[in-house]
Amino acid sequence: MCTQAVKRVKNTWFLMKTRDPVSWMRYEDEIKLFDSPTDKYRKLIIQNPIPYEDGYYGGINEAGVAFISTFVRTSEDQISYIRKPYIRLILNAGTATEAVEIIKSFNPKIGGNMFVADPDKCYGIEATAREYYVEEIVDEAVKANHFCSLADRNINFDNDSEFEEWSKTHEERAKELVDNVNSLEDCERLLSDRKNSDKKRAICTTPDEARVYTYSAFVFDTSNKLVRYAQGCPSIVGFKEYTFKKLPGNMKTEQVD
């Protein structure tokens, strides 16, 4: 359960995402630098802080290639993008086009509503266990937990009567906001948006509204190779900035496999 959007602004792409974990997922996350001999580029990845559990949620590398996604379950045997080491492998790409080819090479296919971008190009991908639908994004786009191009339906909608409306409400609101995104601060405002909170369907849901709320959010700036990361509910904790040149002293670093 996530809301994500992309926007072309001047010479960069902004990729932005909330993380609204379902009840069986790890709630907390962290940002981590990966810089081992197996990493073609240094990478900043938002991940599950428990190393023996699955969970890569999005990231950017020092070439400016960034990836975000949210899961759309269309079959019982579908593999989620969050499984290790998929995002880490995708971020070995030097361009968004190369990243798409890496994604297409996975067998079995990984599922989700994905965006991948570099400073120049951005692609949207709808992925099932059967096929990938890839389109180049020209200006802006939004994805939630349903497909807009593929006919496949999120089977979790059948088990939760409100989930489909939740997903489509988030998509509609994000589309309203992304058109006015012109800065990183605008991205933060989109991810912290509280409209529809009376129905518990705001883009940013708070702890007093639900047990499983918006636990984090992040923005990637592909040209400037930076991250704005809210480690916690974004409308409450706000965002901090991370770059490859100015890493915080307490950031954990993966140096060996």
pLDDT for residue 216: 96
* Domains parsed from the chain with CATH numbers: 4-247 (3.60.60.10)
Give the model confidence (pLDDT) of 103-132 as tens digits: 999 998 998 899 999 999 999 999 888 899
Give the model confidence (pLDDT) of 27-41 as tens digits: 789 999 999 999 999
Listed as ranges, residues in the chain with pLDDT below 70 are 1, 21-26, 72-75, 152-157, 160, 163, 248-257
pLDDT for residue 222: 99
What is the spatial distance between Cα 36 and Cα 251, in angstroms, rounded to a whole number? 15
HSE, side-chain direction, 13 A CA sphere, residue 201: 16
pLDDT for residue 163: 67
What is the spatial distance between Cα 165 and Cα 241, in angstroms, rounded to a whole number? 33
pLDDT for residue 218: 98
